[in-house]
Chain A
Amino acid sequence: MPVEPQTLLIRAGETERQYWRDLWNYRELFYFLAWRDILVRYKQTIIGIAWSLLRPLIALVVLTVIFGKVAKLSSGGVPYPILVCAGLLPWQFFANALTDSSNSLISNANLVSKVYFPRLIVPLSSVVTALADFCISLAILAGLMVWYQYIPSARVVFVPLFLALAIIAATGAGVWLAALTVRYRDFRFIVPLIVQFGVFLSPLGYRLEEVPAEWRLLYSANPMVGVINGFRWALLDSGVELHGYSVLMSALVAGALLAIGVWHFRRTERTFADTI
């Protein structure tokens, strides 16, 4: 390792100027933490990594039955399971990323109180772990498409765009909640509530069109509304339109979440070791 001739100044009440450089220097830690979480997650389970398929699969069946068979909502010509799946996968990514990242600092409390590194790495690596799960669970969608012999739309190239939006929303909220949880453990109980209500407040089992037009914009303040709408529009050939205003609204909210989250995190980060 080349020795960097660096002088580090630690001064009371001063935010380190080299924070972002440090974040870059520690990028491998970021990778290692995510790798550890993936490696450890399914230790001592019988079916192992299959859980990351089984969990969305069960939710998929439940939502399909409730909304497609019991409520008999229209899918706009798309096989109902595919419609649900296209929305469920990004939602589950968001829910997992949010839950894991908001708990990440306290579950790594020993690290936070014993070693220095830019703390942002911890919640960020939880998002990466959730992203890995998301990629695995894409197999379900692929499987469904093969089963129903459904060819996705050419707009599929836009999927990364909406995935990015989901990442921004999850990171923003996750980072913010992680910082809050260090100080106020109340959030450990609040986050599951958010996720629980989110299931109903996101168009998972139904299309955005089912929501009355006058409510759609307000509804889209939930950033996952825009993400799910976008995913479906990009993946499905017919039956789902892209609601531009919804996506824009969701993007704005996601961006705001990220800005506030990172700002609050950076502001409180220096005292994490004392309060955790």
Chain B
Amino acid sequence: MAEPIISVRSLGKRYLLGARQHGSRGFRHLLEDALKAPARWARGLGARRDDGATGETDFWALRDVSFEVQRGEVVGIIGRNGAGKSTLLKILSRITEPTTGEIHLRGRVASLLEVGTGFHPELTGRENIFLNGAILGMKRAEIRRKFDEIVAFAEVEKFIDTPVKRYSSGMYVRLAFAVAAHLDPEILIVDEVLAVGDATFQQKCLGKMRDVSRSEGRTVLFVSHQLSAISQLCRKGICLRGGQIEAMGSIDETIRAYLATAQERDGHWVYRGFEELRKRKRLFFREVSVSQSPAGVGSTIDVRHPFTVEVVYEVVEPLSDIELALRILTSDGRAVFTSLHSEADPSAPSETRRGMYRATITVPGMLLMPGGYFINIAAHRPAGELFDVQEGVVPFTVNDTGTVYSRYGNYSSIGVVMPRLAWAHAAVREGAK
């Protein structure tokens, strides 16, 4: 067999949790670093990565991941949130560097990790095609050559000289995907972009990716939560879990392995490694789940009926004034709403003793538009200390099961929410028959 186009050997990526939580370490550390620098120089450059001494906690987002991809293969990468999929793609697209291991890439890589990266809202569609193309590594002449094809694929001919801030979200996504899809890379890396956009366009994108791989012999790495899309498009799969490869092989086997991870059923997120959290945190989330009767826990929600979000958290030491916040976001990351515990129940006791608690939040039916969502959950002091936060857990889908809206097909033009409102309706004056 020919040389694999991608070979990954014992890849690992470590994050320092302390550094991640604070974002920036502040100026004081810079001064300390500067003062310590001469000593570090004396010890030699190899000693620069002074582990342990910093007191920050390690977190391996990826550990000892090895695999090979042959030219022309379409590989689906699946795994729960936090399994390391995004980190893997980021390393493959050279956005961040690995902590251990190595990768050989034998071809030009284009990655579409987020739809419309680098689009500028003030610029027109035409200008953004050139800008985005350049960001993804295309030459100007190449963009000019493919310009018409891109515009036609995105179906935005009429609006090509309108600033993209006036585009509908569907048009925006179409344009962004069109640019990336016409990049002609040998390796195309696509992350979760199909979660946005309407069903017709999703099919079109899947078709394009299939063409890219089958007829043009290009290699595609595809991450999605939509198993149906993955199984349609891919023949091989890699399932990640906790930063390691859980299963690898034919796509059917991989999906089976993915679904068999019983502890994290569909619609149910469980944190593992409580012991370690107890040492670090005063409060932490253990479980988040989404359920709807009568089906029970599951990630498929019927738009017409209420559903509940259940949050289980543990309080490690007595705390006062805990504010719990639930935020539901669309799969492209826009917050739909945030619900605060104290808003719903102002009389909640301000002292919380040690123990495990369960909060159940009911979300009414006919509120969220059909589409993909996920949950952020946080516990903090009002406008103060953050105890714990879990972002992007429990992806779930709201399905239209037969509202009158479904006959209009395109939800993006209907609105942001889909409430059922009371209509009082009477004739003011009626004409004669």
Contacts and interface: CB of A to CB of B under 8 A. Distances in A.
B102 interface: yes
Given A7-B104, A273-B90, A12 B134 contact: no
A117 B24 contact: no
Contacts of A183: 24-25, 30
Interface in B383-420: none
Contacts of B29: 184
A214 interface: no
Contact of A8 (B23, B98, B105): B105
Contact of A10 (B102, B106, B117): B102
B137 interface: yes
B406 to A, nearest CB: 34
A271 B118 contact: no
Given A12-B99, A183-B24, A28 B134 contact: yes
Given A10-B102, A184-B24, A271-B97, 10 more contacts: A1-B142, A8-B94, A8-B109, A32-B131, A114-B113, A114-B117, A116-B93, A117-B135, A184-B29, A274-B15
A185 B130 contact: no
B361 interface: no
Contacts of B122: 39-40, 43-44
Interface in B118-165: 118, 120, 122-123, 127, 130-131, 134-140, 142
A55 interface: no
Contact of A40 (B20, B123, B135): B123
Nearest to A267: B48
B102 A6 contact: no
A274 B20 CA distance: 8
Contact of A111 (B24, B117, B127, B138): B117
B103 to A, nearest CB: 4
B91 A10 contact: yes
Nearest to A4: B108
With most chain A CB atoms within 10 A of its CB, the pick from B91, B95, B140, B184 is B95
B107 interface: yes
B95 A114 contact: yes
A155 interface: no
Contacts of B111: 115-116
Interface in A180-210: 180, 183-186
Most chain-B CB neighbours within 10 Å: which of A7, A26, A36? A36
The interface centre, meaning the residue of B106, B109, B117, B118 with most chain A CB atoms within 10 A of its CB, is B118
Contact of B123 (A3, A39, A112, A271): A39
B41 to A, nearest CB: 13
A111 B123 contact: no
Contacts of B15: 274
Given A1-B142, A8-B104, A36-B120, A271 B96 contact: yes
6 contacts: A6-B106, A10-B92, A12-B12, A28-B139, A36-B120, A40-B123
A144 interface: no
A6 to B, nearest CB: 7
Contacts of B90: 273
A12 B99 CA distance: 5
Interface in A226-269: none
Nearest to B30: A184
A12 B62 CA distance: 13
B98 A273 contact: no
A172 B130 CA distance: 29
Interface in A1-43: 1, 3-4, 6-13, 25-26, 28-29, 31-33, 35-36, 39-40, 43
A153 interface: no
Interface of B: 12, 15, 19-20, 23-27, 29-30, 90-109, 111, 113-114, 117-118, 120, 122-123, 127, 130-131, 134-140, 142, 184, 186
Nearest to B115: A114
Contacts of A6: 106-108
Contacts of B101: 11-12
A39 to B, nearest CB: 7
B195 to A, nearest CB: 16
B389 to A, nearest CB: 18
A216 interface: no
Given A10-B97, A32-B131, A184-B25, A3 B186 contact: yes
A184 B34 CA distance: 13
Given A6-B107, A275-B19, A12 B123 contact: no
B105 A7 contact: yes
A273 B96 contact: yes
Contacts of A112: 95
B102 A9 contact: yes
A253 to B, nearest CB: 19
A190 B101 CA distance: 39
B26 A9 contact: no
Contacts of A3: 107-108, 186
A275 B24 contact: yes
Given A114-B117, A115-B113, A116-B111, A184 B27 contact: yes
Interface string A83-117: 00000000000000000000000000011111111
A235 B114 CA distance: 50
Nearest to A10: B103
A110 B25 contact: no
Q: Which of B90, B96, B99, B106 has the most CB of A within 10 A?
A: B96
A127 B221 CA distance: 37
B120 A40 contact: yes
A113 B95 contact: yes
B130 A9 contact: no
B24 A9 contact: no
Given A28-B139, A117-B135, A184-B27, A12 B130 contact: no
Contact of B118 (A9, A31, A111): A111
Nearest to B103: A10
Contacts of A25: 137
Nearest to B191: A114
